[in-house]
């Protein structure tokens, strides 16, 4: 019986925090096992809950595998890895040592050696893989708090406030561009911006003395939910944050700014879960305002249709599904 569940991801201002947040979600859902979180010392972990046991691995992939071998007995361990540097060679070496391995991947690669591929995008399996393929929202890596909030009823309401977030790094400063467009149009009573590491000071300078724009940072899950629940519309990329605002019942305007968001974006768009804007790097104010107006003009019955469709996909069953997946490997 394997009783050690090892989560492996990195995250910082350069590569973003998405891999860490996804595995924090996974970590919060799995019970009855010993949990360990492995990351590099260069990772940002200030937002981790205090009860997570964090171990720092060597910076080199080759040394990392030897280190894992010394610290965790293969026959007792399941490794969940999220990151693009965990390639076929890395997977093969861990498998050859006897570890059970789950790879989280929002691309579709040509080759995997893992026992399980878990792709959070709402797509169908498209490859010949000798293992378990898990795709889609039913196995979304959401923190427990978001799964619980997704079980609540969703009701039509007047559109007043907007939530904006473009990830933990936001290197392209898209939240700055979007905020400026909205400030020029005065469409909302309040704007709530979850600030990335690189844009906080610039956002503060941008809003100046305005008292209806609120900048948030370093929020835990419950604090983030509280901010989201103050809003009716969210403008976010098609990544983990899009799933989180959908759990909270917001009307979601979404797009992409990096290639690994394309699968989630297309899947959400096909399922009528978002109002799509395409590439956020090329965003135009006209298109953004048209999407906002489309939501504002929805009748109560059309709001209901959208919210009921959300509930079909974000139904609160992800925890049970992921626990069943882990049980199949033990």
Q: What is the CATH number of domain 4-144+316-329?
A: 3.40.50.11190
How far is the CA of 181 from the CAs of 2, 107, 184, 313, in angstroms? 52, 31, 5, 31
pTM beyond 0.75, yes or no: yes
Domain chopping of the chain, boundaries: 4-144+316-329, 152-313
CA-wise closest residue to 13 among 59, 56, 44, 46: 44
Give me the mean pLDDT over the 211-230 stretch.
94
Please compute, for residue 54, the number of CA atoms within 13 A of its CA located in the half-sphere on the CB side.
Answer: 19
pLDDT for res 50: 86
- Which DSSP string corresponds to 256-296? ESSGGGHHHHHHHHHTT-SEEEEEGGG--HHHHHHHHHHHH
- Which DSSP string corresponds to 108-174? --S---SSEEEE-SS----S--SSEEEESGGG----HHHHHHHTS--------EEEEE--SS-TT-H
pLDDT band of residue 128 (cuts 50, 70, 90) is low
50-54, 155-159, 226-230, 301-305: range with lowest mean pLDDT: 50-54
pLDDT for res 104: 94
Say yes or no to pLDDT of 62 above 70: yes
CA-wise closest residue to 33 among 47, 53, 56: 53
Superfamily (CATH H level) for 152-313: Glycogen Phosphorylase B; (3.40.50.2000)
16-20, 107-111, 285-289: range with lowest mean pLDDT: 107-111
CA distance 274 to 207: 27
Give the tokens for residue 124. 């169908």
Say yes or no to pLDDT of 126 above 60: no
Say yes or no to pLDDT of 168 above 80: no
Q: Do domains 4-144+316-329 and 152-313 have the same CATH topology?
A: yes
Which tens digits make up the pLDDT trace of 73-116?
999 999 999 998 999 999 999 999 999 999 998 877 768 899 99
CB atoms within 10 A of CB 35: 16
């Amino acid at each position: 019986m394997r009783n050690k569940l090892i989560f492996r991801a990195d995250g910082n201002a350069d590569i973003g925090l998405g891999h860490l947040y996804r595995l924090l979600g996974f970590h919060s859902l799995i019970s009855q096992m010993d949990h360990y979180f492995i990351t590099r010392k260069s990772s940002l972990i200030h937002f981790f809950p205090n009860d997570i046991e964090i171990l720092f691995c060597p910076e080199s992939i080759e040394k990392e595998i030897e280190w894992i071998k010394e610290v965790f007995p293969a026959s007792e361990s399941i490794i969940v890895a999220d990151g693009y540097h965990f390639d076929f060679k890395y997977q093969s070496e861990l498998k050859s040592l006897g570890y059970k391995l789950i790879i989280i991947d929002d691309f579709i690669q040509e080759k995997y050696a893992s026992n399980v591929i878990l792709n959070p995008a709402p797509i169908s399996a498209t490859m010949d893989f000798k293992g378990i393929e898990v795709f889609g929202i039913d196995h979304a890596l959401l923190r427990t708090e978001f799964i619980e909030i997704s079980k609540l009823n969703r009701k039509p309401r007047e559109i007043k406030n907007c939530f904006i977030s473009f990830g933990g790094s936001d290197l392209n400063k898209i939240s700055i561009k979007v905020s400026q467009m909205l400030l020029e149009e005065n469409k909302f009573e309040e704007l709530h911006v979850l600030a990335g590491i690189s844009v906080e000071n610039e956002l503060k300078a941008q809003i100046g003395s305005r008292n209806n724009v609120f900048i948030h940072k370093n929020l835990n899950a419950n604090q983030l939910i509280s901010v989201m629940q103050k809003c009716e519309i969210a403008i976010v990329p098609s990544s983990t944050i899009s799933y989180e605002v959908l759990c909270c019942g917001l009307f979601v305007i979404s797009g992409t700014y990096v290639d690994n968001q394309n699968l989630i974006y297309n899947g959400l768009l096909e399922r009528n879960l978002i109002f799509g804007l395409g590439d956020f790097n090329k965003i135009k104010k006209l298109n953004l305002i048209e999407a906002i107006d489309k939501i504002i003009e929805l009748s109560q019955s059309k709001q209901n249709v959208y919210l009921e469709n959300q509930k079909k996909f974000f139904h609160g069953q992800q925890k049970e599904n992921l626990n069943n997946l882990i049980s199949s490997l033990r």
